Amino acid sequence: MSTAPTALPSVFVVGEALIDIVVDGDSTTEHPGGSPMNVAFGLARLGVPTSFRTSLGRDERGNALRQHLDSAGVQLDSASVTDEPTSTAEARIQPDRSAKYDFDISWNPGSLSVPSGVSVVHTGSIATVLHPGADAVAELFTAAHNSVLLSFDPNARPSVTPDRDAAVLDVDRIAEVSHVVKLSDEDAAWLHPGATLDEVLDRYLGLGAGLVAITCGGEGCIAASPNARIAVAAPPVDVVDTIGAGDAFMSGLLFGILSNDLVDTVRSGGLAQEGLEAIVGTALVSAQITVSRAGANPPTPDELYGPSEA
């Protein structure tokens, strides 16, 4: 059985943190959420040194998010605390247990820079398309392209950015400098209507990515590097809900890169099939564990690898 690595490079995550207000029939509950926040939490829970720049209010929901991040060991950038109310997303659970979202969010982090000692920077979702903050994120990624591995999950939100053409322009300016791009099949269909998934893989590889993955819900995912292409079935699981599933896949994908010491390989475009399979396999197991329980609740190292031996 594989064992968890003992020391891993540091990751800096930039993007929104919010409260998911989950409406499931007659029940309403609140959970920490936001795609970049979930990725930061998932990485830190897996033992990756993780810092996070976001926007949190000085209110009760902001306090709940700070406590949540602290429970996993995420280092919250002090500039993340603002006088604006903490953002929310109402997630309505559908009959197929998927979630549909309605957002109340603002995003204006100001100037951004990569902290010293960081090897990977990740962003995605609303933070890359909601202005004015989207411009700051794009400037950060452009400046950092030659120094760290850059990871991007568009996680399209048409309810926030209904203008598809504008959203594609915002997505492309981040993707053009990113080394890792992860989308869902729903993202691909909305951003690139009429294109096959293989064509979407080719599109982002053509922009310069060293690894592109497209998740396909319960069917698994397809992924490619400039040197290899794979399709992997999802492990069987009883789904409780899909909240945070894509983010757990994303944190698992990055963890797979870090734990297999493939940061430089992915950056250079040299990832071979064996490495691609190892990375994607880790990501799929991470997502499988998350959908087996309520909310965005990603795995621990023991859950991902099995309990460590004394």
Give the closest residue to 215 by CA, choosing from 181, 251, 183, 255: 183
Concatenated DSSP letters of 84-151:
SPPEEEEEEEPTTS-EEEEEE------S--PPTTEEEEEEEGGGGTSTTHHHHHHHHHHHHTTTSEEE
**What pLDDT does 4 receive?**
60
pLDDT at 206 over 50: yes
**What pLDDT does 310 receive?**
43
Q: Is 49 inside a domain boundary?
A: yes
pLDDT at 59 over 60: yes
Arithmetic mean of pLDDT, 278-307: 87
Q: In terms of residue numbers, what domain contains 133?
A: 10-299
Strand 211-215 with 180-184, pairing: parallel
Q: Is 282 inside a domain boundary?
A: yes
Q: Is 229 inside a domain boundary?
A: yes
Give ∠ CA 206-280-139 in degrees, rounded to 5: 45
Strand order in the sheet with 99-104: 27-33, 18-24, 87-93, 99-104
Q: Is 170 inside a domain boundary?
A: yes
How confident is the model over 162-193, as pLDDT tens digits? 899 999 999 999 999 999 999 999 999 999 99
- pTM for the whole thing? 0.92
Arithmetic mean of pLDDT, 95-100: 82
pLDDT at 280 over 90: yes
Strand-pair partners of 211: 180
Q: Is 3 inside a domain boundary?
A: no
Q: Is 71 inside a domain boundary?
A: yes
How confident is the model over 209-267, as pLDDT tens digits? 999 999 998 899 999 999 999 999 988 888 887 778 899 999 999 999 999 999 999 99
Q: Is 148 inside a domain boundary?
A: yes
How confident is the model over 143-153, as pLDDT tens digits? 999 999 999 99
Give the closest residue to 33 by CA, choosing from 25, 42, 24: 42
**What pLDDT does 307 receive?**
60
Sequence-ordered list of residues with C-beta below 8 angstroms from that of 212, at least 6 positions apart, any chain: 180, 181, 182, 183, 201, 204, 205, 223, 224, 225
pLDDT at 92 over 90: no
Q: Is 174 inside a domain boundary?
A: yes
**What pLDDT does 91 receive?**
82
> In whole numbers, what is the pLDDT of the chain averaged over residues?
93
Q: What is the CATH number of the domain that holds 46?
A: 3.40.1190.20
Arithmetic mean of pLDDT, 47-55: 98
What is the DSSP code (8-state) at residue 307? P
How many domains does the chain fold into? 1
